[in-house]
Structure 1
């Protein structure tokens, strides 16, 4: 339980060498939440930053300060190596819990090695390349950053606490060649730049993922980082990170050819070893271009939770609970199935409205949700954080949407707020937003 630092790869490899799982914990949770998660683990030793010792003490389990652990790692003679079983648990990650209580996902060595073997060319990185890791250790992207970059042979640089200025300064000072950012981080960097170029000549690869990328943010980023190759990486904790990639060539094609601009909304094509299916609610496999629920299968897919039955079906398919469609081999994600708005008996995906409304000049950030309604069951509500010093007029926004969306997709209501409740990786916590609006008398 610690912030980003070189101690994390040391801890991951130490645990793997010893044949025990590593469980990166979310230090941003409350003391009670952290203690509850620790108590779910079998005989844990918690390696902890001094700032978070109180949470470990509340759980009543053995602990060691992170600096002491790293010191021991550099001094003690290594154990005799033993083969660790492929099917033993390597990493346990708690889900973010945006829609339900966090579940402990079990990632076995065979899942992680499959991910690496299928997506990483071992030792392929040039000696001068370096990656800047800003994602927290308890996110699957943080684990993936350690494994993929170590196996590629790329130097790891850690940013303990993200700020736009610190990120830019580190990229420049360390000659960073590769980064991975969630959309919220990228948006903050662009706000900090305020239209100026990033001036990061060493940066060659910019990956993004973890949440939906607004088109205006992506277009501004492509201008600010002209030397960088952009990659959209889509994956889940249960799939050992990335399962689909929209590569640099796709980004360049979408920018140069207006008829291919829709590719910017795509999560790309599946990585080697991954199969995708789109199914209806009834379980029928849908055709090209039809929207349904995304199912995924492959040797890197876990679908296992501690204390619960496997989520895989009899044929090994995992239900992501994401709404999606496949068009000519490209995957388009339409948001979580749990977020679907049912208005007058019609299912409406918030993403199709958000993708339009995000281009309104007065919108900085937004989320479209359904609020309880006596007549319609749910009404469509656009919740907006406005751009700086811009007054949002509800009637104007609804009229703007009506010219670009079907009538049934036009928001029934527009609500302006100052900020969204989010996870620390930038995802909007929609149930919390909904409860806040209900408590405020909006429903």
Structure 2
């Protein structure tokens, strides 16, 4: 297919079986059928080198449609399988929604291995054994806190990819002690999902730290563009490097992700990282499901708030003392929100904008 040719864009039907979705995906990757979009898209025609369009919403709430080429998607799958030493015939289980790049990646890895994923998204009872799987930290938490079927499934796998959100040190230690071979992943839709495993770049991927400690990624897994917002994509690209919205550092050649560029609250003139607050609290209160978020405040500019989910009681007084001691008086939470569950964007990412809205609703 010519580089400047165009092709139809077809919305993936959520009613498709995994087998049919894989068949459609294989045709899209081989340019033998329409490109696929995950979710509804206003676009009907895309450039010929686009095989998949994935809608993504960052924590800032800005929606984008990411156009991915077959070359990038296959490179991501091959890099993942190579890192894990996966061989033809090895199996993956599907525990993630096929409406997100992380779920689609499982399917493409299976296409590369000549197998079909074991669909466990609605599994009840014992789980069959597979070689590999991919999950978010919430799965890990549930497995370690009572879901014995899922726990056995994860323990029996050769490796378990964990991504989508930050994994607390406590949860990782508990998983390792339980016998789960954890491989943490970092990436985003713009990099065909996870492209850094255990701090190391996959084959064909480079990572560096640029001004402001921002993480930049280069390589064969990068998206082609934002559909309908090509100028925005060009703003994020610098000499072949994609500047992410995360900041971090490199230590002994390994990437350590420290938080999002846009997750900093300015409380009383002091910068406070929401990610740093969450990591700090999660390591001290590992049994809690929590999230930090900001609310505009006439006195403080941004005021730190905390949200809790589930039945485990939160010691708000002790938390406040810890935060003030660690981050200073500006980090004193100005409000607490208790919910049945945290609102999410995508898989595993907390919707902080929604938390702020829920707080506002509760104060009126």
TM class by shorter-chain length?
0.7 to 0.9
CA change 1:303–1:331 in 2 (3 A) is farther
Conserved in 1, the CA contact under 8 Å of 2:249 and 2:255? yes
Secondary structure of 1:417 counterpart? strand
Aligned to 1:208: 162
In 1, Cα distance between equivalents of 2:316 and 2:181: 39
Match of 2:251 among 302, 315, 327: 327
Q: How many residues align?
A: 345
Does 2:43 match 1:15? no
Report matched runs for 1:54-93 at 5 Å.
88-93=49-54
Match of 1:302 among 214, 223, 235: 223
Aligned to 2:210: 279
Conserved in 1, the CA contact under 8 Å of 2:218 and 2:242? yes
Q: Which has the higher strand share?
A: 2
In 1, Cα distance between equivalents of 2:315 and 2:181: 38
Q: For the aligned residues, what is the CA RMSD?
A: 2.9
Structure 2 stretches lacking a partner, 5+ long: 1-12
Conserved in 1, the CA contact under 8 Å of 2:107 and 2:116? no
Aligned to 1:269: 200
Report matched runs for 1:19-418 at 5 Å.
19-25=33-39, 34=40, 37=41, 39-42=42-45, 88-96=49-57, 98-121=59-82, 125=86, 129-161=90-122, 166=124, 169-170=126-127, 174-193=128-147, 198-200=151-153, 202-224=156-178, 226=179, 228-246=180-198, 268-281=199-212, 292-302=213-223, 304-309=225-230, 310-311=233-234, 312-361=236-285, 364-385=288-309, 388=312, 390=313, 392-403=314-325, 405-408=326-329, 410-418=331-339
Provide the TM-score with structure 1 as the length reference.
0.70
Higher relative contact order (CA 8 A, sep 6+): 2
Secondary structure of 2:218 counterpart? strand
In 2, Cα distance between equivalents of 1:216 and 1:440: 32
Does 2:358 match 1:440? no
Select the structure of larger CA radius of gyration.
1
Q: CA deviation at 1:183?
A: 0.9
Structure 1 stretches lacking a partner, 5+ long: 26-33, 44-84, 247-267, 282-291
Provide the TM-score with structure 2 as the length reference.
0.84
In the TM superposition, what whole-angstrom CA distance separates every residue of 1:233-278 from its partner, at most 9, and x where no partner exists?
11111111222111xxxxxxxxxxxxxxxxxxxxx12222222232
Q: CA deviation at 1:101?
A: 4.1
